[in-house]
Amino acid sequence: MREELLAIIEKNSRIGLNELAVLLGVEEAAVLSELETLEKEGIICGYHTLIDWDKTSIEKVTGLIEVRVTPQRGQGFDSVAERIYNYPEVRATYLISGGYDLLVVLEEKSLRDISNFVTYKLSTLDGVLSTATHFVLKKYKYNGTILAKKQEDEREMFTP
Amino acid sequence: MTKELSNKVLAIKPSGIRKFFDLVSEMKDVISLGVGEPDFDTPWHIRDEGIYALEKGRTFYTSNSGLKSLRQEICNYIKKTQNVEYNPDNEVIVTVGGSEAIDIGIRALVNDGDEVIIPQPSYVSYEPCAILANAKPVIINLKAENEFRLKPEELLNAITDKTKILILPFPNNPTGSIMDRADLEAIAKIIIEKDIYVMSDEIYSELSYKEKHVSIASLAGMKERTILINGFSKAYAMTGWRLGYACAPKEIIKQMTKIHQFAIMCAPTTSQYAAVEALKNGDDDVAMMRQEYNQRRRFLLNAFKEMNIPCFEPFGAFYVFPCIKEFGMTSEEFATRFLQEEKVAAVPGTAFGDSGEGHLRISYAYSLENLKKAMERMKRFVERLREEKR
């Protein structure tokens, strides 16, 4: 049940307990206790909402910043990463294999805010060797959801 | 022209639900539960392989029986799922949908007057295909109390000296009923004893929600007398690609190939390349779709339970077949009123044979959102009908 439960709520976290029980073919109590366990184990980390901000009047700019850093003895990349991800404007931080070390996703109100963050906060951190900033121009698909277009049911009537 | 058209064709009734669908197409904002095809798009990697085949200029005919690599993958798949071995060189034919395989399979087997046993409710094309082949359809009316499974005594009663083929349509459209191993063993015993052929239409085999689907071809002594039909439409959401196949003893495939080569030439090439990819790398997609269908199936069963409408639990395909006898209307009357008053289209059970009377076919090849709306309307409708009766 665990995997199927996660698959459902990953797509729809607002789904009610009784509906979950119906879809999974189990009792409500079982769903509830499994959800609590998943939360306790830190497997479910939050119930967020996917918002396409571009369709609102609120300005948001997303930057992807490649960061090369010097690993610290005994800590590897973790301590530098921590100093970066603690900033609330940082939406995501990944350790990446290949040409650079950390990928930092930043969400700000304007290009200048991102530029300020990179110039004054990120690149001045101890251990940060260099940065390369990319701005997101358009989001086509995010978290498995296609933002670009709404799909319609185009199936035609036919005789079975 | 004054010369008359073929009497045989003229005598065939157009499909029973045509009229109903015409009504649907005239109305606006109808929630349909009527379509018998997946609501998923074909998985992208499969579509991509079709596109790639076009880009590469693979726009030729394939060999009549289909691409060698596809026939090989089909045999691997049957071996993997049913542990039955077919020779890709002469025991498989790739067809234009499972429906072509039904047609040419019947034509390859019957002589004038031979009897073809067709359990109903079932897919609508077996009966006309038998008639067009100058065979005589013999209908078995499956019973709701048996959950629309075929029982050995029902089969025995239908068999005569003229019986040539039993059509075995499980998992079943429209009932969702399945036949498990024990059910099939009882049937196989009779088939072997009476020495007849089986055409096993297993197009919904991947959509089984209890245990894995068992093919009658995998039972002892059955492979040599079975035409196993399957295809890509339902499992991989590939209806529009028009691709199916039949596996059978080489003597039968040889005759089927003759009809196929003169009528069709070969199945669409682009689709065949895409199908190779589907069989090679499509298992995860099938599992994902099966899981979602299964959730919708549970949702509908629960909805009918809450409405107090009897509905046996179907373990296959993507249909439920609730019983609406309590309302004292025929299936067609019920479906028509449901459509006119609540704008929900569900197919009357009688479209699939007389034994579908008193039932509706509800397809769950629709998003959960859609199904929820439809069930709200159904609840309202049913409550109103019960109110009227009081």
pLDDT at B96: 98
For residue A101, give the DSSP letter.
S
- Express each pLDDT in B220-249 by its tens digit: 999 999 999 999 999 999 999 999 999 999
For residue B25, the model assigns a pLDDT of: 82
Q: How far is A139 from chain B (nearest CA, A)?
A: 20
Contact call for A155 and B37, based on CB within 8 A: yes
Residue B174 to residue A22, Cβ atoms within 8 A: no
Query: Average pLDDT of B287-299?
Result: 97
Q: Test B173 with A8 for CB contact under 8 angstroms.
A: no
Determine whether the interchain pair A153/B173 forms a contact, defined as Cβ–Cβ distance below 8 Å.
Answer: no
Å from B235 to nearest chain A CA?
17
Is residue B294's pLDDT more than 90?
yes
Percent of chain A with pLDDT over 70: 99
Domain ranges of chain B: 7-42+284-385, 60-281
**Residues in contact with A72: Cβ distance below 8 Å, sequence separation at least 6, in sequence order:** A79, A80, A127
> Is 90 exceeded by the pLDDT of residue B121?
yes
B384, B378 contact by CB (below 8 A): no
Report residue B39 as tokens. 């609501």
- Smallest CA–CA separation between B316 and chain A, in Å? 16
pLDDT at res. B117: 98
Write down the pLDDT at residue A74. 83
Residue B124 Cα, gap to closest chain A Cα (Å):
7
Provide the residue type at B232 as one letter: F
Q: Residue B1: what pLDDT?
A: 80
Please give the residue of chain A at the shortest CA–CA distance from B24.
A157
Inter-chain contacts counted by CB atoms under 8 A, chains A and B: 42
> Angle CA(A82)–CA(A98)–CA(A146) in degrees, nearest 5?
80
C-beta of residue B206 within 8 angstroms of C-beta of residue B343 = no
Which residue does chain A place closest to B306, by CA atoms?
A22
Q: Would you give the DSSP letter of residue B116?
A: E
Q: Does B37 touch chain A (CB under 8 A)?
A: yes
Average of pLDDT values for A19-38? 96
Q: Write down the pLDDT at residue B22.
A: 81
Contacts of B219 by beta carbon, 8 Å cutoff, 6+ apart: B181, B184, B185, B188
Distance of CA B170 to the CA centre of its chain: 8
Chain B hits for A31, CB-CB cut-off 8 Å, are none
Residue B26 is predicted with a pLDDT of 83
| pLDDT at residue number A102 | 96
Superfamily name with CATH number, domain B7-42+284-385: Aspartate Aminotransferase, domain 1 (3.90.1150.10)
Collapse the DSSP code of B79 into the 3-class scheme (helix H, G, I; strand E, B; otherwise coil) and give the result.
Answer: helix
CB-closest option in B34, B37, B291 to A4: B291
- Give the pLDDT of residue B14: 79
A160:B18 CB<8 A: no
Give the H/E segment covering residue A128. Answer: strand A128-135
A123: amino acid identity, one letter: S
With cut-offs at 50, 70 and 90, classify the pLDDT of residue A146. confident
B94, B65 contact by CB (below 8 A): yes
Evaluate whether the domain defined by B60-281 bears CATH number 3.40.50.300: no
Model pLDDT for residues B313-354, shown as the tens digit of each residue: 999 999 999 999 999 999 999 999 999 999 999 999 999 999
Phi-psi region of B228 (alpha: psi -120 to 50; beta: other; left: phi over 0): beta
pLDDT of residue B24: 83
Mean pLDDT of all residues in chain B?
A: 96
CA geometry: angle B98, B200, B44, nearest 5 deg = 40
Nearest residue of chain B to residue A154 (CA atoms): B39
Chain A residues near residue B295 by CB distance under 8 angstroms:
4, 8, 23-24
Shortest Cα–Cα distance, B237 to chain A (Å):
12
Query: Does ipTM exceed 0.85?
Result: no
Q: Which amino acid makes up residue B294?
A: N
Indicate the residue of A7, A23, A159 with minimum beta-carbon distance to B15: A159
**Whether the predicted pLDDT of A37 surpasses 90:** yes
**What number is the average pLDDT over the span A54-80?**
91
Residues of B in Cβ contact (< 8 Å) with A22: 298-299, 302
- Of the candidate ranges A109-113, B91-95, B259-263, the one whose mean pLDDT is the lowest: A109-113
Between A160 and B49, whose confidence is greater?
B49
pLDDT tens readout for residues B14-32: 776 777 778 888 888 899 8
User: What is the predicted pLDDT for the residue at B28?
Assistant: 84
Which candidate from A7, A8, A159 shows the least CB-CB separation from B17? Answer: A159
Rounded to an integer, what distance in angstroms lies between the CA atom of residue B92 and that of residue B138?
Answer: 28
* SS3 label, residue A34: helix
Provide the greatest CA pair distance for chain B: 68
